Structure 1
């Protein structure tokens, strides 16, 4: 089957600092590269990413940078001829980027929302930071980080023509079990978020206070200096992806905490869930609809609502933790690798390309088919 030509305009591929998009894109694009597809990634230059780049020259795609929306015109020919152009969520000046690319009459214009619950909640409040409500109806395919009822909302409430789930994934070659000695009983990896912090306070901070003999760690940037961490909680300001495997491997358990909008929506697994599971590190998660569809409890996941719940889980023996971690790893390797996700994306693009592009004016559609 002929390889696809795909252009992605995303928040960041080059820097994982303060965002989870980079690791999501890396796993997906590496999978596309392994399948033989050609990918161009266009990233907006931002000072905080430029100063914290941990990927400069990926071997699975062509990475290029632009400084203003008008500069996208330099790739006008490529954007108009690619099998699919995918604009991601949280792209700076995203709404303007989408309109600019649409003016080039691409064969297929798609949106990859790695923040679906946040996007929909914002649009309901009238916020159109990186995509407008009007534009949702114009995408040929809306790829959603969230499944379940979010897809119904996209179709019926927001008028999306074709909504497809495209969950996060993990690079199975980069995330594997580690034989390193355990350093922490429980850890957490994630950028500070005000709506996640109360859960971290309950499930990690208060657990640390209840269990002073145990060791804990929180890794991620932007946590306010006003947070008071117990003495047995270690802080790591930033952890680049190349150190994630070792980080997970040195934990007895790792904590997953979900943002409020994503809990309300359900069916929104974070990339951290898949990373930890690929490393066979057992996960303790907060509770939300759809979690069991990815990792059934108690076979492959533990959930907790209070510090006492977490303390009880940490009191289990190493054999039970190992069985849970291995069960989660088997699930990830069969269903949630970057290679699996890339195949799903390619299949959806080929399916959508079988019909006329939905966002093009009629005359443009006629011109496009006349040249095929």
Structure 2
């Protein structure tokens, strides 16, 4: 396919942009033989990146002037939810594209919350979502059906993050912490973080704990055995996760995995998860991840699980990710969704995936 991919804005930090999920997906699609032009908005005065694979634009007028014809003849137009001026860009994309139009929402709980609060008049509206022929969402369960029924989305499909296995693998460094958590984390899950990680730290004074990227989630009552750590860069995440005996992997919302679930599993981390609906479709509970319901469960895993069992837990989770949840699997999944959408309108209720599974293709 000839694909045009509108990604998030260029980031000023050198070396970080190549690690973003949109760029990784674009690279995976190219490896499958597709021609992918990845477009990013850049600030005036910055050096433009121009090639047959990546190009930048200044604003919507520049986007239209330089890439109108390419978008018109592309087989697939993919728009990331974090593209600047997403509402205006979506209106332009759906009116301009001659092929299949796809919206990739990597944070569907955020989208639903913004719509409920109507906090930003520049955000997407149901009418703009309905202009796309395929909506890729990060939440499973009843959410895709809700998007189709309430927002008029033609076809909503679950599309979870995929891991670039070249960047995430078990490390060989020393263990520094017994339990850690890497943000971001939704407000509704911060209570679990306070209860489980900080509660476990208070219950086990000899334990070593770490919290990264979510320092605003706690108050002044910070246990002395909990380290504060800046959010690691994408290239530092594997080392950070590998330095933990266990990783607390909390869901983002109902039916939605946390942002770093698959990365942590790919690093061979021993995961402790909250019991959200859909987790059982991604990992075997008790064999690939452990489920906690209270801070006592967390402490029990930390104190009672033999080291060999902990290591095997992490390795089984990594094997599941390599078999089903890499960015290469997501590229195949996008192909399947695109082929399905091109065949015509969905049958009744199929937009929620009849099996309501969060799993990608094996």
- Output the TM-score relative to the length of structure 1: 0.81
Question: Quick check: 1:80–1:106 contact (8 Å CA) kept in 2?
Answer: yes
Secondary structure at the aligned position of 1:103 is classed as helix
User: Shift of residue 227 of structure 1?
Assistant: 4.7
Query: d(CA) in 2 for partners of 1:106 and 1:7?
Result: 11
Provide the residue aligned with 1:131 in structure 2.
Answer: 124
Query: d(CA) in 2 for partners of 1:256 and 1:15?
Result: 29
Question: Quick check: 2:10–2:17 contact (8 Å CA) kept in 1?
Answer: no
Query: d(CA) in 2 for partners of 1:168 and 1:210?
Result: 34
For residues 246-266 of structure 1, the C-alpha deviation after alignment (integer angstroms, 9 at most, x for no partner) is 11111111111233xx22xx1
Q: 1:270 aligns with which of 258, 276, 282?
A: 258
Provide the residue aligned with 2:80 in structure 1.
Answer: 88
Question: Quick check: 1:203–1:307 contact (8 Å CA) kept in 2?
Answer: yes
User: Shift of residue 333 of structure 1?
Assistant: 0.8
For residues 97-152 of structure 1, the C-alpha deviation after alignment (integer angstroms, 9 at most, x for no partner) is 11122232331211111112322343244456531111222211111112221111
For residues 292-349 of structure 1, the C-alpha deviation after alignment (integer angstroms, 9 at most, x for no partner) is 1111210111122332221111111111211211211111111101111101112322
Provide the residue aligned with 1:304 in structure 2.
Answer: 292
Q: 1:291 aligns with which of 279, 282, 285?
A: 279
Aligned length: 339
Q: 2:171 aligns with which of 178, 184, 199?
A: 178
Residues 232/106 of structure 1: CA separation in 2 closer, same or farther (3 Å cut) = farther
Provide the residue aligned with 2:63 in structure 1.
Answer: 72
Provide the residue aligned with 1:219 in structure 2.
Answer: 212
Provide the residue aligned with 1:364 in structure 2.
Answer: none
Question: Quick check: 1:170–1:271 contact (8 Å CA) kept in 2?
Answer: no
Provide the residue aligned with 1:203 in structure 2.
Answer: 196
Q: 2:320 aligns with which of 331, 335, 346?
A: 331
Secondary structure at the aligned position of 1:223 is classed as helix
Is 1:42 the counterpart of 2:45? The answer is no
Moved more, 38-47 or 125-134: 38-47
Q: 2:29 aligns with which of 32, 41, 45?
A: 32
Question: Quick check: 1:183–1:250 contact (8 Å CA) kept in 2?
Answer: yes
Query: d(CA) in 2 for partners of 1:329 and 1:251?
Result: 15
Question: Quick check: 2:184–2:259 contact (8 Å CA) kept in 1?
Answer: no
Moved more, 196-205 or 242-251: 196-205
For residues 73-107 of structure 1, the C-alpha deviation after alignment (integer angstroms, 9 at most, x for no partner) is 12212221221111122333211111122232331
Query: d(CA) in 2 for partners of 1:270 and 1:45?
Result: 29
Query: d(CA) in 2 for partners of 1:44 and 1:76?
Result: 15
Secondary structure at the aligned position of 1:179 is classed as coil
Provide the residue aligned with 1:150 in structure 2.
Answer: 143
- Output the TM-score relative to the length of structure 2: 0.84
Over the aligned positions, Cα root-mean-square deviation in angstroms equals 3.1
Question: Quick check: 1:13–1:25 contact (8 Å CA) kept in 2?
Answer: no
For residues 190-219 of structure 1, the C-alpha deviation after alignment (integer angstroms, 9 at most, x for no partner) is 136433322221111121121121111122
Provide the residue aligned with 2:331 in structure 1.
Answer: 342
Moved more, 275-284 or 297-306: 297-306
Moved more, 310-319 or 343-352: 343-352
